[in-house]
Amino acid sequence: MDKQKKNSPFRIFLRKFLKQKLAVFAFGLVIAIVLVGIFGPLFSPYDPHRPVTAQYPDMGIDLEQLTSLTLEIEGLLSNGETIEQQELTQIQTETDDRRIAAVRRSQSGIRVSANSSGYTDAIVESGDVSAVSKVLVRGEIPLDDAEPTISQIRINQPDASFSEGDSYQIEVSALLTDGTEITSLDNLKELAEELYGEEEEEDTSGFQSSTTNDDDAASFQINSLTEDTVSVDEDGVVSFESDGEGLVQIQAGEAKSLVQFQVGPDSIEPVLTSLVLQSTTIELNDAYKHQSPSSLHLFGTDHQNRDILSRVIHGTKETLLIGFVSVAIGTVIGTVLGLLAGYYGGWLDSLVTRMTDVLLAFPGILLAIAVIAFLGAGITNIIFAVAVFTIPVFIRIVRASTLSLKEMTYVEAAKSIGVPNTVIIFRHIFPGTLSVVMVYLTMRIGVAILIGAALSFLGLGGDITAPEWGSMLSAAKDNSGTIFHATFFPGLAIVITVLSFNIFGDGLRDALDPKLKE
């Protein structure tokens, strides 16, 4: 009795199947994917239809924290002392491009907030001095071509006092936003010319030729703020004209610093000579669009800032639905037609075979597109379209195995004792075709998912905003051309699902009947 159990066809099948490690693994994946399809929406971290930034408040995530950064600043006085930012007055802040980032004064310094991806300069100004920090906002736009700009100019402050008729060579160094230092005036000039001078040239060649005189766009300037006490030439040689306080300003791009001279014996009040920013580069993330994969969003977000992981999870149901339902419809209709055609033969058989041949001559995707062209776009129509080209596949295999089963002795025996045809078909022949049908069923699900995804990729799925893998890819193609993660993950989901079904189907086939292998 026990031995009989051991050798039951099912046991043999199970043993053969379990031998194929890869197929068993694929089967596990299939189960997991189905579970995700059913229960996934319960666990999906975000609502797949709304931008994540709109969901952050509900989830207790501080958007501000994600997109802003506070930067401490301090001032350097001519007597070598530093002053805290609280004591700094007249602080003015601005960014080159407000669409990318904004900057404002805050309690502990300045606060930079990202608006969209790209790079810009944040400028902090206090009176006659200013410093620059580069703001990089990660996101859609690549930041590779962001060039360093001049962040801070440092002028060597002489301790001694000067008298009328003296001259003095200013020593300058500068810090760039990428942290490199420029040590001589000539180098600084050259760099400033290169960085900002070109910009002017571009401007003149363009339609905005009037901006050449704009003071802000000056590439390099060195001038005396107190013309009656000191004068300065282009090479930084200061000549002292009369007693008093002398101030020389050097400007390169947006950065400005001062140097103070005491001319004559009278001591003078120290002034603010330069601003020091805590860091020269600020890196922020664009939280409003195309967030890169992070712990918050494992798959990143899409062009409408929707969580891709959540959309993939929600899309599982839709994808499996297309696969299962269309193949189920195709299998049922195909099997019934195949059984009838194979069993009864005659005109029915030749009609069905003819139809099958014609349908199979067309590639599945075009047949499905033709059906959609008739029915119009929409997910139910996709299911139906995929079903239509699944039918002939099943007709063919079921008919073939019916033809051979029909000749079996037990079927002939049943016929000879007058068992009705319908009973013979469904009790004696149908079970014999079952194993082939099962194998093809599994394999066709993979194909159905592929075609279904292709149809929605082509925009034939109706609702293009739906969290469906094919539509997601279609939207990503149109809106996220350069963003890798937006196109990668939905496609990966398709590949893993289809591959699981295919390997599982292969394993089933080998276990059920090695002869089925081509």
Shortest spacing between CB 493 and another protein, in angstroms:
10
DSSP structure class, residue 292: P
Binding of residue 32 to another protein (CB under 8 A): no
Residue 432 lies near another protein (rule: CB under 8 A): no
Burial (CB count <10 Å: 0-12, 13-18, 19+), residue 112:
buried
Residue 143, interface with another protein (CB under 8 A)?
no
CB of 379 to another protein, least distance (A): 16
Among 103, 188, 372, 391, binds another protein (CB under 8 A): 372
Which one, 112 or 443, has the nearer CB to another protein?
443
Please pick, from the candidates 73, 259, 352, 453, the single residue that binds another protein as defined by CB under 8 A: 453
Contact characters 300-339, another protein, x per CB under 8 A: ----------------------------------------
Angle in degrees, 0-180, between the axes of helices 9-19 and 21-43, rounded to the nearest 10: 90
Phi, psi values for residue 257, rounded to 5°: -145, 165
Q: Between 69 and 453, whose beta carbon lies closer to another protein?
A: 453
Of 116-124, 248-256, 428-436, 490-498, the window that binds another protein (rule: CB under 8 A) is 490-498
Distance CA 119, CA 132 (A): 13
Binding flag, residue 139, another protein (CB under 8 A): no
Q: Which amino acid is at 189?
A: K
In the complex with another protein, the residue whose CB is nearer, 69 or 386, is 386
Closest distance between another protein and the C-beta of residue 491, in Å? 3
152 vs 487 by CB, closer to another protein? 487
Is residue 462 at the binding interface for another protein, with CB under 8 A as the rule?
no
Applying CB under 8 A, does 518 fall inside the site for another protein?
A: yes
For the CB of residue 93, give the shortest distance to another protein in the complex, in Å: 35
- 498 is a site residue for another protein (CB under 8 A): yes
Residue 487: CB minimum distance to another protein, A: 5
- Is residue 484 a contact point for another protein (CB under 8 A)? yes
- Give, as ranges, the residues between 87 and 106 that touch another protein (CB under 8 A): none
d(CA 131, CA 96): 13
Q: Which is nearer to another protein, 344 or 488 (CB)?
A: 488
Residue 393 · residue 357 · CB < 8 Å = no
CA atoms within 13 A on the CB side of 78: 23
Judged by beta carbon, residue 38 or residue 358, the one nearer another protein is: 358
Query: Per CB under 8 A, which region of 122-130, 307-315, 398-406, 476-484 contacts another protein?
Result: 476-484
Angle, in degrees to the nearest 10, between helices 21-43 and 308-344: 120
Q: Which DSSP category does 332 fall into?
A: H
CB of residue 399 to another protein, shortest distance in Å: 20
Q: Yes or no: say if 332 and 349 are a contact pair by the CB < 8 Å rule.
A: no
Q: What would the DSSP string read from start to end of 149-209?
A: -EEEEEE----SEE-TT-EEE--EEEEETTS-EE-SHHHHHHHHIIIIIHHHHHHHHSS-G
Q: Is 371 near another protein (CB under 8 A)?
A: no
Across 203-217, b (16+ Cβ under 10 Å) vs e yields beeeeeeeeeeeeee
Q: What is the DSSP string of 386-445?
A: HHHHHHHHHHHHHHHHHHHHHTSHHHHHHHHTT--HHHIIIIIIHHHHHHHHHHHHHHHH
**Helices and strands, counts by H and E, the chain:** 16, 20
For residues 471 and 312, what is the distance between their CA atoms, to the nearest angstrom?
A: 11
Applying CB under 8 A, does 28 fall inside the site for another protein? no
Residue (29 or 34) nearer to another protein, CB: 29
Verify binding: residue 25, another protein, rule CB under 8 A: no
> What phi, psi does 97 have (nearest 5°)?
-135, 105
The strand pair at 172-176 and 181-182 is best described as antiparallel
Q: How far is the CB of 490 from another protein (least distance, A)?
A: 8
Residues paired with 168 in a beta bridge: 238
Kindly list the residues in this chain that would bind another protein in the complex (CB under 8 A): 358, 361-366, 369-370, 372-374, 376-377, 446, 450, 453-454, 457-460, 470, 473, 476-477, 481-482, 484, 487-488, 490-491, 494-495, 498-499, 502-503, 506, 518
